[in-house]
Amino acid sequence: MRLDGKVAIITGGASGIGRATVHKFVREGAKVLVADIDRARAEEVVAEVEEAGFPGSAAATAVDVSVFAQVEQMVAEAVRVFGAVHVIFNNAGIAGGVPLLEHDPEADYERIVRVDQNGVYYGIVAAGRQMAKQGSGGVIISTSSVYGEQAAELSFTYSAAKAAVISFTRSAAYELAEHGIRAVAITPGRVATPIINQFSDELRATFAAEQLRGRLTNPDEIADVVAFLASDESRVINGTVVSVDDGYSVFKQRLQLPVF
């Protein structure tokens, strides 16, 4: 088990990529604090872990990642329950957007920045301090997006926040290397999370066509990569953006080409 003896915090752990990663980490031997703004749903994930045959491997906590004091308390809770923090997966995020000229700055800028940008920064700082204090190194993994590297529809603020996550990751890797702490970002493409699954079949088919396999990525497939990045097997991956987008970023769209 690649994560045996590791303690991990997973934000946004009650659904989607976060939930899948909780289950993957536990199967790989980690103890996991499932952190989510919805404590009841986080507790449901803990119950799933126990029913799967891993009692005592997960605990739940409520956190609003846009509030630094709550993120600090989340880290303290992981230490209280499991004794340390070796990995944090800054995964909590929100989506949404309207055309730029129709923005309400509070709803369409400040709200998204607080969660998707500030929440990652707070996780890096709070977990990084704990890892440095422990003196045993650690791994900080943060969810960016393909949108963090390009312009896209209705995503002015979301793209900016996800680009900040990439910059945070590079700078954190540089500053925290002396403490044996690695920092890595992932950039998912179209993943079958509750955010995307709420859309129409037609729109989801369009999303699927934007990836090379022609289908939406399963959250479990992202979790597999995150588990690798959290493990010692990826010890030379640091300050890096790892694309988990099934080719989304390498082509525009498939065309019906004429015969020459």
Cα separation, 29 vs 206, in Å, equals 38
Cα separation, 142 vs 242, in Å, equals 10
Cα separation, 242 vs 143, in Å, equals 10
Tell me, yes or no, if 109 is annotated catalytic.
no
DSSP-H helix ranges across the chain? 16-27, 39-51, 68-82, 111-112, 119-134, 156-176, 194-197, 201-209, 219-230
Distances (CA, A) of 187 to 178, 222, 245, 256: 26, 10, 7, 29
Residue 39 in tokens? 């404590």
Q: Which of 121, 122, 158, 248 is catalytic?
A: 158
Say if CB 139 and CB 87 are below 8 A apart. yes
Residues noted as catalytic: 158
